[in-house]
Amino acid sequence: MHKKSVLRRSFFSFTVLAVGLMCSILYQTVDVFDDKSRVIKKIPTTHKVVAITVDDGPHYKTTPEILMVLKEKQAKATFFVLGKNAEVHPEIVAQTVAEGHEIASHAYSHRRLNRLTDAEVVDELERLELVLQPVAPKPTLFRPPDGAYNDGIVALARERGYTTVLWSVDTGDWRQLPVERVVKAVLDNVQPGSIILMHDGQYPLPTPQAMSIIIDKLRAQGYQLVTVSELLQYYEVSR
Ligand SMILES: [Zn+2]
């Protein structure tokens, strides 16, 4: 009986390990382009250019605060908006566009797309497009919620004209870390071609204050801040 339970327990640990390994393979991304799924995490470039990206908004308090910081610093960012939030605050999306930032797709409802059928994935993309239609140009970039994707999702997104974009610098701002920790996460990890992940889907967040400091520090290091679409123009193929 005892032996049996040990066996059962070790079988259980083995299963947990195997599932964990499979998940990490599933979510693994290569540094730049994953040739099979064409997912962008950062750009190989010798130019000191980086893109700040902001996910999950618009939020009626956090997003205007971020827009204020970006205006003050005359910097551009890319907003991966959520359809259900853009639907409630189309005026904030319109303001974001008017102030020269890029609007990109984070799908409609933040469901994990790898758990959905193809038809449901397409619906998630289309519903956001319909919400954005009156207030923003059709987005060309797509970031799957929680970074959860597979080849099928990337292919479906590509068919609808999207390049799938993840990130290379995770600030952890959504966990409401202190401002200094968010700033440090960027300064410790930034490289030419980095894509920085920040958020505006809740309130309060350290994001507006941290972003203001990050922009100053990056510029002091000679970095230029661009949108993700602009960043793609700096892609250099090594020979
Ligand atoms: Zn998200």
Tell me if residue 55 is catalytic: yes
What is the full DSSP assignment across 89-109? -HHHHHHHHHTTPEEEE--SS
Spacing, Cα 146 to ligand 1 middle (Å): 5
**Single-letter amino acid, residue 34:** D
Whole-angstrom distance, CA of residue 113 vs CA of residue 90: 24
Q: Which residue, 130, 166, 136, is CA-closest to 148?
A: 166
Rounded to two decimals, the pTM is: 0.85
Spacing, Cα 110 to ligand 1 middle (Å): 6
Q: What is the pLDDT along the chain (239 residues), one digit of tens a residue?
A: 455 555 555 555 555 555 444 444 443 334 445 444 489 999 999 999 999 999 999 999 999 999 999 999 999 999 999 999 999 999 999 999 999 999 999 999 999 999 999 999 999 999 999 999 999 999 999 999 999 999 999 999 999 999 999 999 999 999 999 999 999 999 999 999 999 999 999 999 999 999 999 999 999 999 999 999 999 999 998 75
48 dihedral zone (left: phi>0; alpha: psi -120 to 50; beta): beta
Tell me if residue 101 is catalytic: no
pLDDT score for 150: 94
Spacing, Cα 47 to ligand 1 middle (Å): 28
Q: Which of 59, 89, 199, 200 is catalytic?
A: 199
Spacing, Cα 220 to ligand 1 middle (Å): 30
pLDDT score for 38: 82
